[in-house]
Amino acid sequence: MRGFSLVNLAFTAAAATNLLPFSAATPLVTRNNVSKRSSPIAPKVVIISMFEPEAAVWWGIDEFDLLGQNITIPGLSPLFPEVHCTASGEVCQIITGESEINAATTVSALVLSPEFDLTKTYFFVAGIAGVNPKVGTLASVTFAKYAVQVALQYEFDMRDIPSNFTTGYIPFGVDSPDLYPQNIYGTEVFELNEALRDIAISFASTATLNDSTTSQAYRALYAQEAAYAVAAQPPSVLGCDVATSDVYYSGTHLSEAFENTTRIWTNGSGVYCATAEEDNATLEAILRAAKMNLTDYSRAIVMRTASDFDRPPPGISEIQNLLYAHQGGFPPAIRNIYLAGVKVVTGILEGWESTFEKGIKAPNYVGDIFATLGGEPDYGQPADFITKRDLSLRATKPAFQGNLRMKRAMVSAKRRAAAARALGIEV
């Protein structure tokens, strides 16, 4: 989610007490050390919503009834304790709760749950987001190829930024904002199946998008700035990339800095258009499960509809744009999750036998910056690819000069390695 947070969360934890009885009649099977029920629910599509408005837009629709069964599994958000599914189990929905930690823990709980078989499931992240006026506009529907965790960096307050720096964000392990990070955590960049993304775009493009007169008026203000020409156009369906950050950043300078981060970290191919708080976390959980063949990472789709601009039009202040201006994008962005998203879900269901059951082959690299699922990322440093790097060497590399916390981590890794060696364990 990104957008208005003045939201009444209608769900209560009371629903959590409605536990499904554990039935000893459905035996467990062990698969890669995760015990799965032998006939678990095998959804064709799981819709991933982040908060109540994004979720509720799918309820009471004509196409399918997501409230046909509710399944309680351990590890979900206390606000959203159940997975919702159609009676047939073909389509399900989880609500992660907002931000990276909620997304990672909720999706991990789902992918490891014995109640579900997700080996052929399409994961459809469908939420709202902030939008870059250079690439899109309010109520537009975006589909990402890259998800970038842009705030995974050092950060200075603006008053402490060296005079020759263009931003207070500096990637880990380097000393200038425009360098490729050297200390990689693994969640910085995720690449998705481009062929599947393009099919989703073609399905969504058959929808008539919703709009509001308030957003038409706010959008028109961007026409005065040539770089923002597309922001003044009506909403559309487009392919462009999503930034993930727990910090709800706003404003011209930070937005431009993260535009740069997206471009640099994807080695020039990522185009930042949407900003949200969860996608990399969700993708990380799907990817880890894919490593154990519990999910198929090439079946993940990230759709974000634009609820607000990340930076103001000419004549409006940064703080006005963030907190006080009536941008009018929230209602149509929520509506368009359903209008565009339902075309994607029904497209997958209708083409299941002919196309989607067997999967869509990715023409591009899919996965993370570590190459966890194999292959060769078209971004990142080859030394960080799991296939290439020597894990034992990393622990004994000469001490890092500079950052104290990283230095301490290095020292403690060395100490652990020495202790292991003393016990005769090979390191």
**Would you tell me which residues interact with ligand NAG (CB under 6 A)?**
15, 32-33, 67-70, 144, 146-150, 152, 162, 164-167, 176-178, 180, 187-192, 210-211, 241, 244, 253, 256-257, 260, 265-267, 270, 279-280, 283, 292-293, 332, 335, 377-381
Q: Which is nearer to ligand NAG, 105 or 267 (CB)?
A: 267
Q: What is d(CA 325, CA 222) in angstroms, rounded to the nearest whole number?
A: 14
Query: In this structure, are residues 280 and 190 in contact, taking their beta carbons and an 8 Å threshold?
Result: yes
Q: What is d(CA 315, CA 401) in angstroms, rounded to the nearest whole number?
A: 46
Q: Which is nearer to ligand NAG, 287 or 348 (CB)?
A: 287
Give least dist CB 181 to ligand NAG, A.
9
Q: Closest Cα partner for 128 from 214, 210, 227?
A: 210
Give least dist CB 203 to ligand NAG, A.
19
Could you please report the per-residue DSSP string of 151-163?
Answer: T-EEE--GGGS-T
* Matching residue, tokens 């997206």: 262
Give least dist CB 66 to ligand NAG, A.
9
On the 0-12 / 13-18 / 19+ scale of CB atoms within 10 A, 251 is middle
Q: What is d(CA 302, CA 170) in angstroms, rounded to the nearest whole number?
A: 27
Give least dist CB 206 to ligand NAG, A.
15
Q: Which is nearer to ligand NAG, 98 or 279 (CB)?
A: 279
Give least dist CB 257 to ligand NAG, A.
4
User: Cβ contacts of residue 208 below 8 Å, gap of 6+?
Assistant: 339
Q: Which is nearer to ligand NAG, 44 or 304 (CB)?
A: 304
Give least dist CB 118 to ligand NAG, A.
14
Q: What is d(CA 198, CA 203) in angstroms, rounded to the nearest whole number?
A: 9
In eight-state DSSP terms, residue 324 is: I
Measured torsion, CA atoms of residues 273, 48, 103, 364, in degrees rounded to the nearest 10? -50
Residue 22 CA to its chain's centroid (Å) = 32
Q: Which is nearer to ligand NAG, 364 or 413 (CB)?
A: 364
Residue, CB closest to ligand NAG: 149
Give least dist CB 133 to ligand NAG, A.
15
Residue 154 CA to its chain's centroid (Å) = 21
Give least dist CB 105 to ligand NAG, A.
16
Q: Which is nearer to ligand NAG, 32 or 396 (CB)?
A: 32
Q: Which is nearer to ligand NAG, 403 or 413 (CB)?
A: 403
Left (φ > 0), alpha (ψ -120 to 50) or beta: where does 139 sit?
left
Helices 194-204, 330-350: crossing angle, 10 deg rounding: 110
Q: Which is nearer to ligand NAG, 78 or 351 (CB)?
A: 78
Residue 179 one-letter amino acid? L
